[in-house]
């Protein structure tokens, strides 16, 4: 379609951001716009083999590079940015996963601080068959291999936080960030409330696939070529991240302990239904209680993330968020021609 602007951006090595907030914008964009970007993997591309230990080849805090931030013209606090993922395509034919000392859900960490010895630090190289859309696990001990379907996604997409803060790219919170949910895939629209002028959108942390909860703390990490349609919804607040695809509306809550992440996602969903459909809050509470799906996203990051997914077929008719998902899908279809 003729008039939809396309912005392509492939950062140089020194052009990545490492925080949400506190980084200067790399470009200014006018919405609606197609963003066609490259994202480096969470280890800045420095783990290439089983011998490349994160604790040796990575230099903290230069972990989880973000492509961006993009300054969205006209975005102000009280608005919402909508990011529709058109395609998320691994840029390499391999990915990497690892254990990292004092990180992961089944080990003592810097915060769940224990006296036990840490787990061994190990790297697993995953080989991709991009034609078959599979990725291959190879055991480090023994000769077991297993092909799993690829489900390319972004662990991290966010805007600058409120309260004058700058947060590490490892943090998920109300501003989005490192939520690590497999729902952040092509076909999904992600809504993020704007906290500062220009919103300062960035993304990264591509995963060829990830289990729910991201148990060991690391997915099948890889670089991505990603196309999004980005729009701005003026005057529509979004207190916590919302996601939408053709079948579900979703909320993401990020906090510790994990029940607080659950509570955030669920209250946000209940209140969203009540606001959107004029439903009584208690009725919305009941409807959600019987209809919701509640997969975990991550139980490893600075905050844990819990998803609340409501099937659209259980909702009253009509669209949410001003119909942005359908509109952005249409724009995506125009873009792909």
User: Within 103-122, which residues bind its own copies (CB under 8 A)?
Assistant: 105-108, 111-120, 122
Binds its own copies by CB under 8 A, chosen from 246, 247, 275, 280 = 280
- DSSP, collapsed to helix, strand or coil, labels residue 145 as strand
Q: Output the smallest distance, CB 79 to its own copies, in A.
A: 18
Residues 6+ apart with CB under 8 A from 59: none
Task: Tell me whether residue 11 or residue 32 sits nearer to its own copies (CB atom).
Answer: 11
Task: Tell me whether residue 31 or residue 298 sits nearer to its own copies (CB atom).
Answer: 298
Residues in region 218-257 near its own copies by CB under 8 A = 218-220, 253, 255-257
- The reply on whether position 59 binds its own copies by CB under 8 A is no
Q: Output the smallest distance, CB 288 to its own copies, in A.
A: 6
Q: Which stretch binds its own copies (CB under 8 A): 79-87, 198-206, 261-269, 325-333?
A: 261-269
Task: Tell me whether residue 58 or residue 219 sits nearer to its own copies (CB atom).
Answer: 219
User: Under the phi-then-psi rule, with left for phi > 0, alpha for psi from -120 to 50, and beta for the rest, what region is 51?
Assistant: alpha
Residues 135-165, buried b or exposed e (16+ Cβ, 10 A)? bbbeeeeeeeeeeeebbbbbbbbbbbbeeee
Residues in region 291-330 near its own copies by CB under 8 A = 291-296, 299, 304, 306, 308, 314-316
Q: Output the smallest distance, CB 221 to its own copies, in A.
A: 11
Q: In whole angstroms, give the CA distance from residue 18 to residue 69.
A: 10
Residues in region 32-51 near its own copies by CB under 8 A = none
Q: Output the smallest distance, CB 65 to its own copies, in A.
A: 12
Q: Exposed, middle or buried by CB within 10 Å (0-12, 13-18, 19+), for 12?
A: exposed
Q: Output the smallest distance, CB 226 to its own copies, in A.
A: 20
Binds its own copies by CB under 8 A, chosen from 215, 225, 276, 334 = 215
The DSSP secondary-structure symbol of 32 reads: S
Sign of the alpha-carbon dihedral angle for 105, 107, 111, 114: positive
Residues in region 148-167 near its own copies by CB under 8 A = 148, 162-167
Task: Tell me whether residue 119 or residue 326 sits nearer to its own copies (CB atom).
Answer: 119
Binds its own copies by CB under 8 A, chosen from 9, 94, 137, 335 = 137
Q: Are 212 and 263 in contact (CB under 8 A)?
A: no
Q: Which stretch binds its own copies (CB under 8 A): 77-85, 230-238, 242-250, 262-270?
A: 262-270
Binds its own copies by CB under 8 A, chosen from 142, 235, 318, 337 = 142
Binds its own copies by CB under 8 A, chosen from 16, 18, 71, 128 = 18
Task: Tell me whether residue 80 or residue 254 sits nearer to its own copies (CB atom).
Answer: 254
Binds its own copies by CB under 8 A, chosen from 97, 181, 202, 226 = 97
Q: How far is CA 286 from CA 43, 138, 316, 318, in A?
A: 43, 45, 14, 20
The phi and psi torsions of 114 (rounded to 5 degrees) equal: -125, 170
- The reply on whether position 262 binds its own copies by CB under 8 A is yes
The closest alpha carbon to 246, from 181, 328, 335, 153, belongs to: 328
Q: What is the DSSP string of 56-111?
A: HH--TT--S-EEEEEEETT--BTBEEEEEEEEEEESSSEEEEE--TT-STTS--SS
Tokens at 37, concatenated: 């970007």
Q: Output the smallest distance, CB 47 to its own copies, in A.
A: 14
Task: Tell me whether residue 2 or residue 116 sits nearer to its own copies (CB atom).
Answer: 116
Q: Which stretch binds its own copies (CB under 8 A): 26-34, 43-51, 84-92, 137-145?
A: 137-145
Q: In whole angstroms, give the CA distance from residue 79 to residue 84.
A: 16
């Amino acid at each position: 379609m003729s008039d939809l602007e396309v912005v392509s951006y492939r950062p140089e090595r020194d052009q990545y951001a490492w925080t949400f907030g506190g980084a200067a914008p790399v470009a200014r964009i006018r919405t609606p716009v197609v963003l066609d970007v490259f994202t480096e993997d969470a280890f800045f591309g420095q783990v290439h083999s089983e011998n490349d230990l994160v604790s040796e080849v990575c230099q903290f805090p230069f972990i989880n590079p973000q492509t961006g931030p993009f300054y969205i013209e006209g975005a102000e606090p009280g608005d919402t940015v909508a990011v529709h993922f058109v395609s998320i395509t691994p840029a390499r034919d391999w990915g990497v996963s690892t254990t990292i000392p004092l990180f992961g859900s089944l080990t003592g960490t810097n915060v769940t601080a224990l006296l036990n010895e840490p787990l061994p630090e190990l790297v697993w190289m995953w080989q991709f068959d991009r034609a078959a859309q599979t990725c291959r696990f190879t055991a480090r001990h023994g000769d077991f291999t297993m092909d799993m379907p690829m489900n390319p996604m972004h662990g991290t997409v966010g805007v600058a936080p409120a309260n004058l803060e700058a947060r590490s790219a490892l943090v998920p919170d109300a501003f989005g960030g490192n939520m690590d949910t497999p729902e952040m895939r092509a076909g999904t629209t992600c809504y993020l409330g704007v906290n500062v002028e220009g919103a300062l959108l960035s993304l990264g942390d591509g995963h060829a696939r990830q289990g729910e909860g991201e148990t060991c703390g690391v997915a099948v990490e890889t670089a991505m070529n990603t196309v999004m349609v980005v729009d701005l919804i003026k005057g529509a607040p979004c207190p916590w991240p919302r996601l939408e695809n053709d079948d579900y509306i979703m909320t993401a809550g990020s906090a510790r302990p994990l029940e607080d992440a659950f509570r955030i996602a669920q209250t946000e969903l209940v209140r969203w239904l009540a606001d959107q459909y004029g439903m009584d809050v208690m009725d919305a509470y009941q409807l959600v209680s019987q209809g919701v799906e509640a997969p975990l996203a991550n139980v490893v990051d600075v905050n844990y993330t819990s998803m609340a997914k409501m099937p659209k077929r259980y909702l009253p008719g009509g669209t949410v968020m001003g119909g942005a998902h359908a509109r952005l899908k249409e724009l995506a279809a125009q873009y792909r021609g």
